[in-house]
Structure 1
Amino acid sequence: MELEKRVQESTDRCVYEEEETQVKDGTFRHNNDSRGARLDQVQKKESIINKSLDKLKETSTDVLQGTQLLAVDVAAATDLLRRGLIGDELAEKEKQALRRTLTDLASVVPIGFLMLLPVTAVGHAAMLAAIQRYVPSLIPSTYGRDRLDLLRKVEKVKEMEEGSLNETSEE
């Protein structure tokens, strides 16, 4: 980032010096073009910043919702585990949910450890990309695209139901 700033400042100085030279020579051809180029550069920077902010918001939302899903799964698994320990027979689907949650909890530990390592943001992104590509089962299922999309659909349905209930109560 610092390197990009320095390069940009150097480029701006060169353009500014070129404009001064042109003014001294009495030629104004590049003056408007360079301002247009600067405007394009500013717009590109703003676009990149907006895209980065959007990506950051999206990722933050995914992490928050994945953590909430994990908490819900842990609560349900605790209940299932308690039932199993007191002697109740668990259905196959309940056993699978318990296994999935225990696997997710076991995979949170190494991922959390890797994210706490003192590495740059690029290093963290590279680690996550490598994990997603070579060991995708290490990422907890609650942070997976399928479960997050399902959660978002359920939330939309709840919002629609609340909206229709509010409309009927107002009438």
Structure 2
Amino acid sequence: MQMPKLGRRTALLAAAATMTTGLFAAAGAAPAMADTVTVNYDCVGYPSDIAVTIDAPATAGVGDTATFEVSSVVTTGAPQDLPAGEVVTDMAIVVGGAQSGTITASGLTNEATPAGQPVNMVGGEAQITFTSAGSVTFTPSTTTQVDNGAQCTVVGEAPVGATTVVS
């Protein structure tokens, strides 16, 4: 039995949100070691634990701009064979500490994936300009499927994925 397209895509979103990795790069900023945090998501009724890795610059200066790239690996596996580009998502990253707001990493797309295998989502990107001195934190938040708006929301409180010290 084949799922209806919306149901199949919602299931794909649930799968696509299972493990997310973020990478930050700022011109002249010192890179930091990447840490992995586990975040519990509810993807339209499908609970998913997502291991999130954010690699932010360890330090940056006020006024520096950092590029925020996001990729993900869905650990629960694809519910069916996925051709490359079948699923496109955005992910919100909450900025806290010395600065506040939300960054949206747009354009994450899946690589070709056989059914039952982890799904690699690549190509998401956003930017942040550091406006305040102090520790700036980055915390994974809502993931949204672009074509139908289906969302995966954080259950409880997500741990901080990275911190940049801005001077």
- Normalising by structure 2, we get a TM-score of 0.22
- Normalising by structure 1, we get a TM-score of 0.22
Higher strand share: 2
Higher helix share: 1
